[in-house]
Homo-oligomer: A and B are copies of this chain.
């Protein structure tokens, strides 16, 4: 860390900071400039030590040098990680995940699962526990939905991913799903992150819509530090002043995250834009920028969907998206990850 003292800091304040650095077990290096004293602190533990020093009299600011995350960092693990989700890899090639926003009924789920499997999806998604802005909205089928999802995945040869919202549900979700999703609104629900970190199920962690990439990787660290190393990150849009679409899809987060971490990164264009007519363009952008996969919502009758109908692709739009994503991936020397050939 670099401690920048205020212009006008007293010698006593400077000495006190230096002594404190030493008392923390670090080494201190004072550099007295014309306008300000600067004190380098070597060997620090982020972010605790930063807060302590920033709280001291005469300190203008503290500049961290090291990244605050460790297990998530490229420095810790140089090679790209590949996460196996029920026999389908994420991190080697481009993996397509598709399905309805919410699991609504057996009939509807079967139709959609069959449709996306036939059009290129390797993993099936579907929500059983739904985080809804309104308490008066459909909140999902719960455990009944989980069972339907498991059965549909088995029927059509696709591993399944679904969201968990509460610690109390982690076990049952881990029992039925091949991959556990943490939604954007829970990206800093630290207890929930720790709880899925205790399982050994692969985790799909969505970026919060107000989470910096650095904060996002600290949330990843919560999962990793509990011993679960099967973690996939997902960019899904952030909140900005531009509100014509639902969120602003931060496509630069893809190469930025991949530069800083070894974890696979996928994109969710459906939630990013909220309107089906823009989903394919954003999926292509994400893959062109280096994403390891795409998760999209597909519905065969969006106006009857119980959740987020406006952003659901129709099956034939999904087929066209698959075709174009495959072409772009190939142009960049990569391949679509095929679905598992085995059904149960």
A residues near B, CB below 8 A? 2, 4, 7, 20, 29, 31, 33-36, 38, 40, 42-43, 45-48, 51-56, 63, 65-66, 68, 75, 131-138, 165-168, 185-186, 188-191, 194, 208-210, 212-215, 218, 221-222, 225-226, 238-245, 248-256, 259, 272-273, 277-278, 281-282, 284-290, 302-305, 307-310, 312, 324, 327-328, 330-332
Cα(A252)–Cα(B286), bound, Å: 11
Q: 21 A-B residue contacts at CB 8 Å?
A: A2-B38, A4-B65, A33-B42, A33-B65, A51-B309, A52-B305, A53-B303, A68-B133, A131-B188, A133-B215, A134-B218, A210-B241, A212-B241, A212-B242, A213-B242, A239-B239, A249-B252, A255-B282, A281-B290, A327-B332, A328-B331
Give which listed residue, B65, B242, B310, contacts A51 with CB less than 8 A: B310
Contact B20 A303 (CB under 8 A): yes
Contact B222 A63 (CB under 8 A): no
Contact B218 A133 (CB under 8 A): yes
Q: What are the 10 closest A-B residue pairs judged by CB atoms, nearest first?
A: A210-B210, A55-B309, A288-B288, A327-B331, A284-B288, A239-B241, A331-B331, A55-B302, A285-B285, A185-B188
A136 → chain B, closest Cβ, in Å?
A: 7
Cα(A312)–Cα(B52), bound, Å: 11
Chain B contacts of A40 at CB under 8 A?
A: 31, 38, 40
Cα(A312)–Cα(B4), bound, Å: 20
Chain B contacts of A54 at CB under 8 A?
A: 309-310
Q: Smallest CB-CB separation from A42: which chain B residue?
A: B33
Indicate the member of A65, A243, A251, A256 with the most B CB atoms within 10 Å: A251
A307 → chain B, closest Cβ, in Å?
A: 7
Contact A213 B65 (CB under 8 A): no
Chain B contacts of A244 at CB under 8 A?
A: 212-214, 256
Q: Smallest CB-CB separation from A255: which chain B residue?
A: B281
A48 → chain B, closest Cβ, in Å?
A: 6
Give which listed residue, B239, B245, B289, contacts A256 with CB less than 8 A: B245
Give which listed residue, B7, B222, B278, contacts A255 with CB less than 8 A: B278
Cα(A150)–Cα(B111), bound, Å: 56
Cα(A242)–Cα(B33), bound, Å: 28
Indicate the member of A132, A136, A238, A272 with the most B CB atoms within 10 Å: A136
Contact A135 B190 (CB under 8 A): yes
A250 → chain B, closest Cβ, in Å?
A: 6
Cα(A288)–Cα(B280), bound, Å: 10
Q: Smallest CB-CB separation from A283: which chain B residue?
A: B288
